Amino acid sequence: MTPRLRHFTDIEQVIAPLIAVYAQVREPLLHLPNYAVPTFTTRVERHGTEPGFEAVLAFDAEDRPVGYAYGNAVEGDDRWWTRMGDVDAAFTRSPSLALKEIGVTIPYRGTGLARRIHDELLAGRGETYVSLMVNAAAGDGKVQRVYESWGYAVMGTSRPSPDSPVLTAMIRPIAAAAEERGR
């Protein structure tokens, strides 16, 4: 059965299944301070109170969460952008969607579920651009190449916290998701 997708805009409604699926997806990295469940919980609780918060979770036939993505709207002066240094003003002139996390459990990797969740999160958003940050070393570069195949382009680097690796910042127009769905 194809996992069903559900939208959430209330952090209280999504926090438990989001933490559960995050822990499964990131299990090999949970020993690292930046990926530890308590660190993620603090981060997602903060993000959940920020403007434009939305999460999309995928649930299997037994109603277990098997994938997720979430983000929120960011303005030009948001720390999301300021940590990147010089960012083209075209990207920060109006609110953008900051895609904070995306992942699927091992049985669903390579099935297209992550892309489905991604596109569902972007559907109906009012922002012009979506940006994300990726560890360029993840999967020996495979994860970044997947995002590039989804239309993202590198725009710089960022180190969100002292415990975080340096991440590659990427961006693309949100409209690209709608255009691809129409094909």
Residues 27 and 62: their CA atoms lie apart, in Å, by 21
Residues 109 and 117: their CA atoms lie apart, in Å, by 12
**In contact, 117 and 155? CB cutoff 8 Å:** no
CA 13 to chain centre: 18
* pLDDT, mean of residues 109-125: 95
Q: Which residues pair with 57 in a beta bridge?
A: 6, 68
Q: Is 175 helix (H, G, I), strand (E, B) or coil?
A: helix
50-84 confidence digits (pLDDT tens): 999 999 999 999 999 999 999 999 998 888 888 88
Q: What is the pLDDT of residue 127?
A: 95
pLDDT tops 90 at residue 158: no
CATH number of 4-181: 3.40.630.30
Please tell me the least confidently modeled range out of 7-11, 166-170, 173-177.
Answer: 173-177
Contacts of 104 (CB under 8 A, 6+ apart): 25, 58, 66, 67, 68, 111, 113, 114, 117
pLDDT band at 85 (very low <50, low <70, confident <90, very high): confident
**In contact, 120 and 56? CB cutoff 8 Å:** yes
Phi and psi angles of residue 36, each rounded to the nearest 5 degrees, phi first: -55, 145
**In contact, 14 and 41? CB cutoff 8 Å:** no
Please tell me the least confidently modeled range out of 3-7, 9-13, 54-58, 135-139.
Answer: 135-139
Q: Is 151 helix (H, G, I), strand (E, B) or coil?
A: coil
What are the sequence ranges of the domains in the chain?
A: 4-181
